[in-house]
Structure formats: C-alpha cells, structure tokens
C-alpha cells in the first residue's frame, strides 16, 4: 500500500494569517477520501519547520500539499520548493506556479490578451499613488499577494484620490506589502476549477450579503455565503480558463475567479493553491461536472503518482 502524507497548516482561528489555513474538517475529509486505498499520515506544517524531518523520515510516495504559509509573497511556494529539495513527489501546482500565481498584478499582465482584466497599478510605496493616472473611480485597493481577501472590507472600494491615498496608507502601514489598485468591476462572482487532465470544471456562483466576497464574508460570516453550481455550460468561459492554464503552465490544479459584467469575464485572480473545503468553490465546481469530493481527491492523487516525481513548470507556457 502506497504512503500518502497530507501536509497542511491548521486554522485554529487564532490569527488573521490563518484565514487560508485548512480546518480539521477539511483535513479529515481528505484523509477519509484516501484511507481505504492508501496508508495516509497527517503532518501539520508548523512554523518551526520540524515537519521537514517528519516528511523525510516517512518517505511517502506522495505528499498531498495543501500548505498556505505564514507570511510574504512566496509563502505558498516555500513548501513546494522544500519538497523539491527533498526530491519528494507532491500533488498540485509546483513551486513556480505557486510563486507566480500569488502575484495578482503579474498574472493579469501575463494573460490580459486572453481574458478581460480590470485596469490597474501595482503600488510599492505611498508616493506611487501620485503616479496613478487615467483610472476610473470607483477603484478597489487590495494586497497584491494575498488570498482569503485579507485586508479587504467595504472601505477597500474608494471613490476619489483622497480615499485612495488613505486606504493605500492603511494597507502599507498594517501589512507592509505591495498593493494592487484597479478599477472596481460591479458584477457577479463566478469561479472555475482547472484540473490537469480534466480541463475546466464548473462554474459556480458566489453570493453573499456584501458588495464582494471580502475577508469578513470568508471568515466571520462564512455561513451566510451561498456557493452554488451554475446550470449553463459557459463553454466560452471554459475556453478562457484552458487558455490561461496553458499560458501559466499550471500543474495539478487551480481555481480561477472572475467577475461577470455585460457578458464579459473579468479575471480577478488565479488561485494555484486551492481550498478543498467540501462545500467551497473548488469542490462545487468539480461537482458541477460530475466529480464528487472523494472522486476528485483520488483523481488528483492517482494523477500525481503516475510520474513518481514532480513535473516542474517553466513559468509560462503557450504564448
């Protein structure tokens, strides 16, 4: 029986940076999906890096990597990079995918000829705000390399230069990270799943009692968020997803978030490290095309075991 190690960060709801970490329910669901076919071990990737020795001693046939990391724009890619140094096969996107996709501004510039993207700027310091020109208000101000809408609230949508400067300063002071300023697109939140070998799955729609799926909605008020599959085929959107996945040379899987307005699909972000929360967007998209939780988890593992080693991305695929 082959050995599978589930490597994860556990969300104990004690710190803001845990927002993207997995709950015990999600980790246990992955374990239950695999336990009848594989010898499965759970390894929490705690901050002192003691997990490295545990993985190296176990020498699993595959690491099911769902780690998010604690800080910085390379936090997701760190785990893939370490596993590669151990010559350890692992599931999902490789370290290059994880690093590139965590940079929203970079990704949008790489794929803007494939999908509509909101016009915007990357801001590194407060003085950069003065360089922002020809942008139509309202605009949204958010961290460039963060997920789970960390730092996002109703105040993130600003209507003039004064509000923009104030919000940028607040984010810089609180997080000290690069910021994305882009035109705000009013529309419907739609997500798609991409899985290597299966293609584009979904879509699903995210509806919540807020202007957008912000940090509060993803954490404190998560029970009020309605994630449902969309009946229509959305073939044109699936074609866009396939093209983006090829351009970014995605390995394993990804979740792509869009805003739909006037029959246009505006790419909001590409999440290479996805959440396997059983009722979340990624799994809901898979269910839309006939893959329930257990089936998709086992497909991902079986696919990753085929090669026996990680196939690395070069960072950009078909031009």
- Chain segment 217-258, per-residue pLDDT in tens: 444 334 557 899 998 888 999 999 999 999 999 999 999 999
Please give the structure tokens belonging to residue 198: 């299966």
pLDDT in tens, 121-135: 999 999 999 999 999
Query: What's 134's domain CATH number?
Result: 3.30.1490.20
Helix axes 281-288, 293-307, angle to 10 degrees: 90
* Cis preceding-peptide flag for 311 (omega within 30 of 0): no
End position of a domain, from candidates 183, 199, 215: 183
- Residue closest to 251 by CA, chosen among 307, 301, 196, 306: 196
3-class state of residue 44 by DSSP: strand
Burial string for 222-237 (b: 16+ CB within 10 Å, else e) reads: eeebebebbeeebeeb
Question: Is 86 in the same domain as 173?
Answer: no
- Confidence band, pLDDT 50/70/90 cuts, at residue 63: very high
Q: Which residues pair with 194 in a beta bridge?
A: 200, 254
- DSSP element (H, E) containing 26: helix 24-34
Q: What is residue 243's predicted lDDT score, i.e. its pLDDT?
A: 97
C-alpha to C-alpha distances, 155 to 10, 151, 209, 210, nearest whole angstrom: 29, 10, 15, 12
Indicate whether 167 and 238 sit together in one domain. Answer: no
Instruction: Give the pLDDT confidence score for residue 222 in this predicted structure.
Output: 47
Q: CA angle, corner 118, sides to 114 and 119, nearest 5? A: 105
The angle at the Cα of 191, spanning 32 to 310, to the nearest 5 degrees, equals 55
* Arithmetic mean of pLDDT, 207-224: 52
What pLDDT, on a 0 to 100 scale, did the predictor assign at position 217? 46
Same domain for 250 and 209?
Answer: yes
**What is the domain extent for residue 164?**
119-183
226 and 279: one domain?
A: yes
Helix H, strand E, coil C: the string for 51-63 is HHHHHHHHCCCEE
pLDDT digits (tens, 9 = 90+) for 35-56: 999 999 999 999 999 999 999 9
Dihedral over alpha carbons 282, 288, 289, 291 (to 10 degrees): 60
- What gap in Å lies between CA 105 and CA 145, rounded to an integer? 9
CATH code of the domain containing 290: 3.30.470.20
pLDDT at residue 216 greater than cutoff 60: no
- Put simply, whether the predicted model's pTM sits higher than 0.85 gets the answer yes
Got the DSSP string for 113-173?
A: TTSB---EEEESSGGGGGG--S-PSSEEEEETT--TTTT-SGGGEE-SHHHHHHHHHHHHH
DSSP class of 275: -
Work out the average pLDDT over 70-77: 94
> What 3-state DSSP class applies to 82?
helix
Residue range 307-311: mean pLDDT, rounded: 80
- Assess whether 15 and 83 both reside in one domain: yes
Q: Domain count of the chain? A: 3
Query: How far is 314 from 305, CA to CA, in rounded Å?
Result: 21
């Amino acid at each position: 029986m082959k050995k599978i190690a589930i490597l994860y960060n556990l969300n104990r709801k004690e710190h803001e940076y845990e927002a993207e970490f997995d709950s015990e329910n999600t980790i246990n669901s992955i374990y239950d999906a695999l336990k009848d076919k594989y010898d499965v071990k759970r390894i929490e990737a705690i901050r002192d890096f003691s997990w490295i020795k545990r993985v190296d001693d176990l020498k699993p046939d595959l690491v099911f990597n769902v780690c998010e990391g604690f800080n910085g724009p390379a936090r997701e890619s760190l785990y893939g990079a370490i596993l590669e140094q151990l010559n350890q096969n692992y599931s999902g996107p490789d370290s290059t995918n994880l690093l590139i996709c965590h940079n929203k501004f970079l990704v949008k510039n790489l794929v803007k000829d494939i999908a509509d993207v909101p016009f915007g700027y990357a801001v590194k310091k407060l003085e950069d705000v003065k360089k922002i020109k020809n942008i139509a208000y309202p605009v949204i101000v958010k961290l460039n390399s963060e997920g789970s809408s960390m730092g996002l609230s109703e105040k993130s949508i600003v209507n003039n230069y004064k509000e923009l400067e104030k919000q940028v300063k607040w984010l810089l002071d609180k997080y000290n990270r690069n910021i994305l300023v882009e035109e705000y697109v009013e529309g419907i939140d739609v997500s798609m799943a991409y899985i290597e070998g299966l293609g584009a799955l979904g879509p699903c729609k995210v509806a919540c009692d807020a202007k957008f799926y912000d940090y509060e909605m993803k954490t404190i008020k998560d029970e009020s968020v309605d994630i449902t599959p969309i009946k229509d085929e959305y073939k044109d959107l699936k074609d866009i997803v396939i093209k983006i996945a090829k351009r970014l040379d995605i390995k394993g899987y990804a979740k792509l978030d869009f805003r739909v307005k006037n029959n246009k699909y505006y790419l909001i972000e590409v999440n290479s490290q996805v959440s396997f929360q059983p009722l979340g967007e990624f799994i809901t998209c898979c269910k839309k095309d006939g893959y329930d939780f257990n089936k998709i988890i086992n497909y991902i593992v079986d696919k990753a075991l085929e090669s026996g080693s990680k196939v690395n991305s070069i960072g950009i695929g078909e031009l």
